[in-house]
Amino acid sequence: MTVKEGVGEVLAGAEKLLVFASETKLPDAFDEDVEMVVVSDENGDVSLPVEFDRFEDRIRYGVEGALENGLVSEGEIVVCVDNVFDSEPDTFSRFEVTESIRSGLYSLFTDSKAEPSVIRDVVELAIELGKKGQKGEPIGALFVIGDAGNVMEKSRELSYNPFEKSHVHVGDPIVNVMLKEFSRLDGAFVISDSGKIVSAYRYLEADGEGVDIPRGLGTRHMAAASITRDTNAVSVVLSESDRMVRVFRGGELALELDPEEY
């Protein structure tokens, strides 16, 4: 089989070609009648709001971004191409766009005041805790990201703040080990827009009156929703009971993720 024949087989029936690098030069074999969408960190039809090391994550958020921007539609067959190992296209993925791709994370990255990489790091930390728990036991945790000054004003300390005089940031592997240890204790973590860990063990005092959360969710989720209604923060909650990760913004549930399926 020639290269052109192989490419033709990959593209057969596809309606969109998503190219995950603006500088990628496609070989002549890709000269097929398929609409091309460039997904790139910058200057693309779809911008990736944060860097992703894994091709799978680039696809996940790139396709969701294309879907949110109306560049692909549910039911379409798309082919994603990237140059993972070299400067030439070398990695391909072909699938049908379904509603399950629309997780809500792409719009969370692009529409929140906090830096997208900070939200990504906190969500990934919550997902890891959901998968592994603390010493094999399920735990609950609450992280409040952004608008830290207002969040601190609308909360009070439950215990000594181990981060009071520190300048550590979420995403640092060593810091994440500390967060995992502290997460088994009561209270919320407060994290700035730039990722600085401002405090642990905070009791959120936001009034939950008028906040509507799904039935079955408890006080931790109510506090998470309420603080995002009264501030510009985003809350990430790991549920101890069902191990789901839920994100609240503007007083409402923005998305929920199953750590085992992420």
What distance in Å separates the CA atoms of residue 193 and residue 154, rounded to the nearest whole number? 17
Residue 216 CB coordination number (10 Å): 9
The pTM score is: 0.83
Query: Of 66-70, 145-149, 202-206, 209-213, which gets the smallest average pLDDT?
Result: 209-213
CATH topology of domain 106-257: YojJ-like (1 (3.40.1700)
Q: Which two tokens stand for residue 15?
A: 């309606």
Contact 147, 232 (CB under 8 A): yes
**Rounded (10°) angle between helices 116-132 and 173-182:** 50
Cβ atoms within 10 A of the Cβ of 38, count?
20
Which tens digits make up the pLDDT trace of 61-118? 889 999 999 999 999 999 888 877 766 667 788 889 998 888 888 888 888 889 999 9
Q: At the fourth CATH level, which superfamily is domain 3-102? A: Pyruvate kinase, C-terminal domain (3.40.1380.20)
Q: What is the per-residue pLDDT for 145?
A: 96
Q: Is the pLDDT of residue 1 over 60?
A: no
Please check whether residue 24 is in contact with residue 17, taking contact to mean a CB–CB distance below 8 angstroms: no
Region class of 141: left (phi > 0), else alpha (psi between -120 and 50), else beta: beta
Which pLDDT belongs to residue 72? 92
Please name the residues in contact with 56: beta carbons below 8 A apart, sequence gap of 6 or more. none
Task: Decide if pLDDT at 25 tops 70.
Answer: no
Confidence of residue 14 (pLDDT cuts 50, 70, 90): confident
Tokens of 189: 């973590």
Instruction: For residue 133, name the pLDDT band (cuts at 50, 70, 90).
Output: low
As separate numbers, helices (DSSP H) first and strands (DSSP E) second, the chain gives: 7, 12
The per-residue pLDDT of the chain, averaged, comes to 84
Q: What is the number of other CB atoms lying within 10 angstroms of the CB of residue 77?
A: 16
Q: Cβ atoms within 10 A of the Cβ of 101, count?
A: 20
Q: Residue 202's pLDDT is what?
A: 92
Mean pLDDT of the 29-45 span = 75
Q: Which of 1-10, 98-107, 218-227 has the highest mean pLDDT?
A: 218-227
CA 26/CA 139 separation, integer angstroms: 48
Domain ranges of the chain: 3-102, 106-257
**φ, ψ for residue 197, nearest 5 deg:** -85, 110
Q: Tell me, what amino acid is at 142?
A: L
Contact 37, 17 (CB under 8 A): yes
Q: Check for a shared fold between 3-102 and 106-257.
A: no
- DSSP-based three-state secondary structure for 196: strand
Q: What percent of the chain has pLDDT over 70?
A: 88
Comparing 35-49, 64-78, 229-243, which segment has the lowest mean pLDDT? Answer: 35-49
Question: Helix (H, G, I), strand (E, B), or coil: what is residue 155?
Answer: strand
